[in-house]
């Protein structure tokens, strides 16, 4: 028997949760604040979202969607077009390729691996922006951005895990 329209629509909406959550994280990152320097050191929340969903639900956040979210981040954030898109695409590909390794491992291992991957991703983003702009961008804010990203990872992972358990457990 074919599922009802409501059941199919419920499943479809639940499948949108990883993309919607990651876009929401992107929008939180680019929200203007009264702190002028916060934009330079704000944690890369979409990077955390892409990493999490690439490990735990790669079927719901494929590579093309990670690229599109990165492109949206470039447009909304005012960074050179393609910098964040390429970084998120590489993070999604790397995390999804190592998915079997991460499943069943402790949170500490996942956090440690995220720290390595985030360091490379943020350094690559800094390098791409410097090359595209044509001058070396100050690396000090990039270091603080990395530290903020690394420190926010446990809390955001907890929120994303609760979201997954609440909405995606049976999908």
* pLDDT tens-digit readout, 131-162: 999 999 999 999 999 999 999 999 999 999 99
Helices and strands counted in the chain (H then E): 9, 0
| Mean pLDDT of the 100-122 span | 96
pLDDT above 90 as % of the chain: 84
Which residues, other chains included, contact 92 with Cβ-Cβ below 8 Å and sequence gap of 6+? 50, 51, 54, 58, 61, 62, 63, 66, 67
Quote the CA–CA distance of 67 and 64 in Å, as a whole number. 5
| Domain locations along the chain | 5-31+43-167
pLDDT of residue 64: 98
Asked if residue 41 lies in contact with residue 144, where contact means CB atoms within 8 angstroms, the answer is yes
What confidence score (pLDDT) does residue 43 get?
94
Span 41-52, average pLDDT: 95
The answer for residues whose C-beta is within 8 angstroms of residue 113's C-beta and 6 or more apart is 98, 102
**Per-residue confidence (pLDDT) for residue 16, from 0 to 100:** 96
pTM: 0.94
Dist. CA 81–CA 136, nearest whole Å: 17
The pLDDT value given to residue 150? 97
Asked whether residue 35 carries a pLDDT value surpassing 80, the answer given is no
**Mean pLDDT, range 20-35, rounded to an integer:** 91
Confidence category of residue 3, pLDDT binned at 50, 70, 90:
confident
Average pLDDT over residues 63-83: 95
What is the number of residues in the chain?
Answer: 171
**Using an 8 Å Cβ cutoff, are 54 and 99 in contact?**
yes
pLDDT mean across residues, the chain: 94
């Amino acid at each position: 028997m074919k599922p009802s329209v409501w059941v199919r629509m419920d499943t479809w909406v639940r499948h949108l949760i990883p993309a919607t959550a990651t876009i929401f994280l992107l929008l939180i990152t680019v929200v203007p604040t009264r702190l002028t320097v916060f934009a330079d050191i704000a944690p890369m929340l979409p990077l955390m979202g892409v990493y999490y969903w690439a490990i735990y639900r790669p079927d719901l956040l494929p590579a093309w969607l990670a690229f599109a979210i990165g492109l949206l981040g470039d447009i909304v954030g005012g960074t050179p077009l393609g910098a964040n898109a390429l970084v998120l695409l590489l993070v999604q590909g790397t995390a999804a390729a190592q998915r079997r390794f991460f499943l069943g491992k402790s949170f500490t291992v996942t956090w440690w691996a995220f720290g390595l991957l985030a360091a490379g991703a943020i350094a690559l983003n800094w390098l791409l922006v410097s090359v595209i702009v044509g001058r070396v961008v100050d690396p000090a804010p990039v270091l603080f951005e990395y530290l903020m990203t690394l420190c926010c990872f446990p809390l955001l992972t907890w929120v994303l895990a609760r979201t997954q358990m609440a909405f995606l457990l049976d999908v």
